[in-house]
Copies of this chain bind each other. A is one copy, B any other.
């Protein structure tokens, strides 16, 4: 297998974090520079169909994009520690929280950054109204995570799962534009500190200058 990766962007970071939690270190990683358009070359598009990173090339040549689909496939090959659920019931609760985290928090945060940060103008026709709308929506939705984390240490299943990875990576991407949880969300703050302290938080991240 071969993973097409890029630093900084949140979706590839989900996969690197997931691999680090499982100790996966035997997959070849190819690093692409998005600002140089290395995800838009004819060779890359012939593999993936869309200019999306990350992508996982399977042994039969099939290329999978979409970070959560990639992680679920990796779970089938590297089952421990379990991050997607051991029973259908647990899998359903984890998927529910993964989707809530993604659609209510991670996607709005990501759109807020992409439509705001000057360095990303090469990747997106930036629209200030879309930026503000999404930043406000993401911040509002953090209250849902805070309520959940008031009653549980992790978002689902009583342990770290893909849901926490998706939520935290989205949240942490907001730091690029200083979009961060308000301090009164103390349960989010406790959980975010626990996430940031995990060794997987550093996987493939640029070293601070």
Contacts and interface: CB of A to CB of B under 8 A. Distances in A.
Contact of A95 (B72, B96, B100, B103): B72
Nearest to A141: B50
Nearest to A73: B92
Nearest to A50: B144
A133 B127 CA distance: 10
Given A130-B133, A133-B127, A133-B130, A50 B100 contact: yes
Interface of A: 49-50, 56, 58, 60, 62, 64-66, 68-70, 72-73, 76-77, 88-89, 91-93, 95-96, 99-100, 103, 107, 127, 129-130, 133, 144, 147-148
Given A65-B96, A130-B133, 12 more contacts: A56-B92, A58-B92, A62-B89, A66-B95, A69-B92, A69-B95, A69-B99, A70-B92, A72-B88, A72-B91, A72-B92, A77-B88
